[in-house]
Amino acid sequence: MALFDLPLEELHRYRPELSEPADFDAFWAGTLDRAREHEVLEDVVDVETGLDLVETFDVTFRGHDGAPIRAWYLRPAGAAAKLPVVVEYIGYGGGRGLPLEHLLWPAAGYAHLVMDTRGQAGAWGNGGDTVDPGGSGPAAPGSMTRGIEDPSTSYLTRLMTDAARAVDAARALPGADGRVAVTGNSQGGGLALAAGGLVPDVDAVMANVPFLCQIRRAIDFTDNDPYREIVRFLASNRSKQAAVERTLGYVDAVHLGRRSRARALFSAALRDMTCPPSTVFAAFNHWGGASGTDPERDIEVYPWNDHEGGAAVQNALQLRWLTERMPVRVG
């Protein structure tokens, strides 16, 4: 893929005007209040995986409207001290997979909570275990347009609420010290940004090539899925554009990220046609802007890469970045 978006110097200045719904904060406060009526942890079960150096637990926590969400919780075996937790969200179409796929953070001394993705896990990876009980009207194949005619029924509202509740769960887990970082790639990166805005006192946010940023621009800018799902939906539901655009205003990670007070590390790839770089920079440049603070933020740019971004190189950078800002306490 050739370069197709704004030049890098313009991306660093790109701070688009935003059009947030007037009741944005009230909507999300009510949504989270309803979710928090339910005790966050339902079950934490020790499981045998053959990973002698990692303790693994099968966690069920309560997400949007109290629905059960599955997760893996991994800790370094024998760790006596309480540990900070890195919460990870999964890319579009995947699920939590198997515990042995998630060893970076426990190997570095952190606890690690890997949230399953409701109603996905059928496109790649090694599966998942969480259903999406929410209803839906007409929708295009995929997850993006489920319930998209109203923010109260939108699949993305449910998913982002799950992401916020995963932070609540991480703070309640046995052996957790209360410090939480959130991370993910693509959809997972967008959820990390959303969680950072919905739970603005998280300690750190690490979002790689994040999805769900400046969604309205993205659907006009790329023909790639998953944004293309919205185009296909509106191509056959022509009268629903206004309702869809209204819903997207509530679930845009740029709007949510403006509320965060957390330090953040982003990455962007300049040849990324799945999550165009200008949409990532919109989130980066607006980060924390409505929080009354000026949180630290950094972005790593990969000029030669598509949606894979920095891959393991970025993971190594994240590890160095986080250990400087949220070190594991020994003893």
* pLDDT tens per residue, range 18-47: 999 999 999 999 999 999 999 999 999 999
This prediction's pTM: 0.97
Cα dihedral: 95, 96, 100, 105 (round 10): 120
Q: How far is it, in rounded angstroms, from Cα 253 to Cα 249? A: 9
Asked if 252 is an active-site residue, the reply is no
Asked if the structure places residue 2 within a domain, the reply is no
Asked if the structure places residue 1 within a domain, the reply is no
Asked if the structure places residue 331 within a domain, the reply is no
pLDDT higher than threshold 60 for residue 193: yes
Q: Taking residues 276-298, report their average pLDDT.
A: 97
Asked if the structure places residue 3 within a domain, the reply is no
Confidence at 227, pLDDT banded by 50, 70, 90? very high
Asked if the structure places residue 70 within a domain, the reply is yes
CATH (domain of 84): 3.40.50.1820
Confidence at 87, pLDDT banded by 50, 70, 90? very high
Among 95-109, 111-125, 204-218, the minimum mean pLDDT is found in: 111-125
Confidence (pLDDT) at 330: 62
Confidence (pLDDT) at 135: 73
pLDDT higher than threshold 90 for residue 2: no
Range list of β-strands (E), 254-319: 263-269, 297-302
Distance of CA 49 to the CA centre of its chain: 26
Q: Which residues pair with 298 in a beta bridge?
A: 265
Asked if the structure places residue 318 within a domain, the reply is yes
Q: How far is it, in rounded angstroms, from Cα 33 to Cα 247? A: 19
Q: Taking residues 304-320, report their average pLDDT.
A: 98
Confidence (pLDDT) at 331: 54
Q: Which residues pair with 269 in a beta bridge?
A: 302
Number of domains in the chain: 1
Q: Taking residues 193-221, report their average pLDDT.
A: 97
Concatenated DSSP letters of 133-163: ----SS--SSSTTTTTTSTTT-HHHHHHHHH
Q: Taking residues 200-207, report their average pLDDT.
A: 97
Confidence (pLDDT) at 136: 77
- Active-site entry in 186, 260, 267, 278: 186
Confidence (pLDDT) at 148: 97
Asked if 307 is an active-site residue, the reply is yes
Q: Taking residues 136-159, report their average pLDDT.
A: 93
Give the domain range for residue 98: 8-325
Among 194-203, 223-232, 294-303, 321-330, the minimum mean pLDDT is found in: 321-330
Asked if the structure places residue 330 within a domain, the reply is no
Among 78-82, 194-198, 270-274, the minimum mean pLDDT is found in: 78-82
Asked if 272 is an active-site residue, the reply is yes
